[in-house]
Amino acid sequence: MKTAVAYVRFSSAGQREESIQAQKRAIDAYCIQNNIKLIKTYEDHAKSATTDNRPQFLKLIKESRYKEYDYVIVHKLDRFARNRYDSASYKLKLKKNGKQLLSVLENIDGSPESIIMESVLEGMAEYYSANLSREVKKGIDENMRNYKFIGGNVPYGYDIVDGQYTINEQEAKGVQKIFEMYLLHYTYADIMKYLNTNGFRTKTGNKFANNSVIYSILKRRLYKGDYVKNLGKEREFIAENVIDPIIDSKTFEEVQEIMKVKQIRSSKKSDYDYLLSGIIYHKCEDGTIHKMIGSSGRGKGGRKYYYYKCKHCNTWERADRLEKQICEFLTDVIFYKNNIEQFIQATYQSINDFTEDNNEKEVLENKIKEITKEIDQYSKAIAKGLISDQIIEKVNSLEQQKQELKFNLSKISDKERVTLDEVREYFYVNKTNLFKDRKHQKKVIQTLIKKIVASNTQVNVELSTLKACSLTTFSGRVLKTSNEHLFIYISDNEFVIKAS
């Protein structure tokens, strides 16, 4: 047996109180005649047909989404809604919820006549929807002409008061700090760390944890006072200097210029290959050592410069100068004609003096597996477009660790196959590659050098293949080099480069 709910409405406008009872009796008789079980009746008393004045009607519509029955029965369609638009709209809602509207006095029971009526109702609903959309757009356009908030998420740094953008003083300080730190070339991670540490929170009350939040703030013209809607789309609307600004135009434009240069996109690699990426560190004035990352900017004349920047103290080193020093170190010390043979002999001795240890071999193999797995995870993130300075830096660091571990593993597993001639070939191939393109230069540097630590007065270089102190002939004295501008000596098992 089919089941149904009924809706009855009594209006005080000329109707007798007993009218609602008459509606119920007619519906009961209709159900008996058509073998339908009535399970519930919704009643609105002394209410008009206006939707928002009919709480039981709205409850019926809401419950139709999950209540199990087949029909909604009314005495007459005008009981359902006097407004044709409302009638069409709510009938379609019932239809989407799997319920059919029936009228005791009108035939909408699936007959040919009811199909025509249903088409009319659906056509009216479509017209109503299109007309409503047009009216909504008119309202939105009017709000845009008055520079009002038109919906969506309220932008960080502002509150909405009577539809107008009003500066939130506390959040505005956060916005200003974001722009200030970015101009000083802090990373998104650095900026978020500062905001969270100093009590700033997002609009939802959470800590800053997503690079995209900082990125969107830096790109939003609203903060310099521009009202921008539908940028690059149909109905684009732009009005400059009409909102109370949080950031001055000069600062905003400077940030945009830096973003153009620094931004890493998944579809485009950096146009500069940093030779020391992953192995360059900085010794700050407080004595701590921190990693340096590649960065770039433009001079007053528009020329582009590349740097290595300390993540801790924000010290900058020109990339070309620092890389030149390292290449000169390799050329004038490691590959210098009077020195190279001693490096070859020391490396060969270091490899053959290495005692094989199965436990250490297993540890190295496990570490390589762990790092490979971690690199794969980052690679998947990059493939999905999740790319940032931090991710690139981390991958480079992991690749360097993996390379070093594999080299150490090779010394354990294959030491019996390494001959003096092979070591000599290894050095001379690298010497040749150092004078090729940047790709080969980077490979040589990353293969031979484990770590570089730059400070205000000197650069310390730790080799991957051997310990500096094993070169006893060099210990405690200045090396002869072909470059008169560099003094190089051994200190604490590292080579130290100092300008003359």
Q: For residue range 94-137, what is the model confidence (pLDDT) as tens digits?
A: 888 999 888 887 766 566 666 676 566 556 655 665 666 677 67
What pLDDT is attached to residue 331? Answer: 85
Per-residue pLDDT, 298: 79
Q: What is the pLDDT of residue 475?
A: 46
**In this model, does residue 17 exceed pLDDT 70?**
no
366 vs 114 pLDDT, higher one: 366
Average model confidence (pLDDT) across the chain: 79
No. of helices (H) and no. of strands (E), the chain? 15, 16
456 burial (CB, 10 Å; 0-12 / 13-18 / 19+) is: exposed
Residue 482 CB contacts under 8 Å (≥ 6 apart), including other chains: 331, 332, 336
More confident residue, 18 or 21: 21
The CA-based dihedral angle spanning residues 370, 365, 357, 492, taken in that order and rounded to the nearest 10 degrees: -60
The predicted-structure confidence for 393-439, as pLDDT tens digits, reads as follows: 677 677 777 877 777 776 665 445 567 888 888 888 888 888 888 88
Q: Which domains are delineated in the chain?
A: 2-106 (3.40.50.1390), 158-265 (3.90.1750.20)
The half-sphere exposure of 22 on its side-chain side, counting CA atoms within 13 A, is 9
Q: Taking 90 as the threshold, does the pLDDT of residue 197 lie above it?
A: yes
pLDDT at position 137 is 73
Name the DSSP class of 334: I
Supply the pLDDT for residue 134.
Answer: 74
| 13 or 33, greater pLDDT | 33
Q: pLDDT at residue 14 above 50?
A: no
Q: What is the pLDDT of residues 283-295, one digit of tens each?
A: 998 889 999 998 8
Q: What is the pLDDT of residue 38?
A: 95
Exposed, middle or buried: residue 87 (CB in 10 Å: 0-12, 13-18, 19+)? buried
223 or 407, which is more confident? 223
Please give the span between the terminal C-alpha atoms of the chain, in angstroms, as a whole number.
Answer: 101
Q: How far apart are CA 137 and CA 411, in angstroms?
A: 72
Q: How far apart are CA 499 and CA 480, in angstroms?
A: 14
Helix axes 112-145, 84-96, angle to 10 degrees: 110
Q: Which of 14-23, 57-66, 257-266, 343-352 has the weakest average pLDDT?
A: 14-23
User: pLDDT tens digits for 158-175?
Assistant: 999 988 999 999 999 999
> What length is written for the chain?
500
d(CA 295, CA 280): 13
Q: What is the DSSP letter of 288?
A: -
